[in-house]
Structures are given as C-alpha cells and as structure tokens.
Chain A
Amino acid sequence: DAKTTQPNSMESNEEEPVHLPCNHSTISGTDYIHWYRQLPSQGPEYVIHGLTSNVNNRMASLAIAEDRKSSTLILHRATLRDAAVYYCILSTGAGSYQLTFGKGTKLSVIP
C-alpha cells in the first residue's frame, strides 16, 4: 500500500495560517489524497480530499504538488478548535477501497 509521511507535531499561533505537509512519494495515478482530523475522544472527521488539482472548501485548502508526491493542508486562520490530530491518507484504487491511517500530525494552537 502507498504510505504517507507526516511530521509528528506542529504548533501554530491562533489566527495565523497553518501549512500541514504530507509526503506520499509512492502514490499511484488513481490514488486520492484525503485529509481527516481527530479531536480527543472522537472519531476522525473529513476535512478535504483531492486527486490532482488544488481544492478548497469551507474548512481548508489542499495544495497538491505537480508530481503528486506531496501535498499540503492549509488552514487559513487557525482557531483553538482546530487543535487536533490531522491525518493525510491515500485511498487506493483497489477494489476494496480501504483507507489506511498513519500516526498523523498533532496540531497545537497557541492562543
């Protein structure tokens, strides 16, 4: 399975932009890049996903490198509620469509 690599932790000041990186050098042409986040004692929630083009939604933006070997989740203005573990995962093109989560990046937001 294609794997992702993320920093273990990051810090950001409140109301500043945050760029969360993810490397996925073995990504295949049909793999989608998904981002989820998990608050303490809760199940992960969907943030954003993309295939080749950059994507924007109300929560965040996803910037995908041209070679697709890396991507960056961008939170435009971090709030205290954004403090969570962020997972970057690849959705395989295989028939089972399983999603394998890594350890993610723990984002701390400093007031």
Chain B
Amino acid sequence: EVQLVESGGGLVQPGGSLRLSCAASGFTFSYFWMTWVRQAPGKRLELVALMNRGGSEKYYVDSVKGRFTISRDNDKNSLYLQMSSLRAEDTAVYYCARGGAPGTTDFWGQGTLVTVSS
C-alpha cells in the first residue's frame, strides 16, 4: 500500500525557517517524481515544488522561488521541503504527493500544517 507521511509542520514566526519531511513507503520511491502541494485557508490548491527521480531537476512556483528548496534522499525514501523567509501567506496545509506519470500526482499524504504568525 502506498503511504506518504508528512511531518515537521508547526508554528513559526515571519522570517523564520522550517523543514518538512515526507516518508514514503509501499512503492519504489526512486522511480517517481515527487511534489509538494499546499492548501491555504480559503484558497485553491497550489503545487509549489516538483522534483525528478534523481533530484537533478527541480521546479518551483514563482511565489516560493529563492525561499523554498525541495530535495530527496532515495536511500531513505524521503522527500523534504526546506522553507525559509516564511511569510504569513505561506500558512497552509502542505501535502507531499507522488507524481504518478507526466502531468499528474496520483497519491497524496495526509498533510502537515504550517502556521506563520507572530
């Protein structure tokens, strides 16, 4: 059974940093592109970062470029999102999602809540 379990969310002050983790199991992690998607209160879903199988290709939505870094450790079956210079508008539930094929995500984790507030 495919499982994606996010962790690392919490309350952080504006300008602060946080590192999210996603533990994958039930599939060969290194075979799949992976993504981070966020859902802010009252806003539509936003795919913030995408990474290829080996980690050599990374894509970011403009709103997080230069502040967020996606990475992975295929030996540990884990995906990460390093977030810095956090802003109030980064407050959201962050989901780890598997890229099942080009142009899609097929399995999502349960999400971890990030709250940016003083």
A associates with B = no
List the interface of chain A (C-beta within 8 A of B): none
| Chain B residues within 8 Å of A, Cβ to Cβ | none
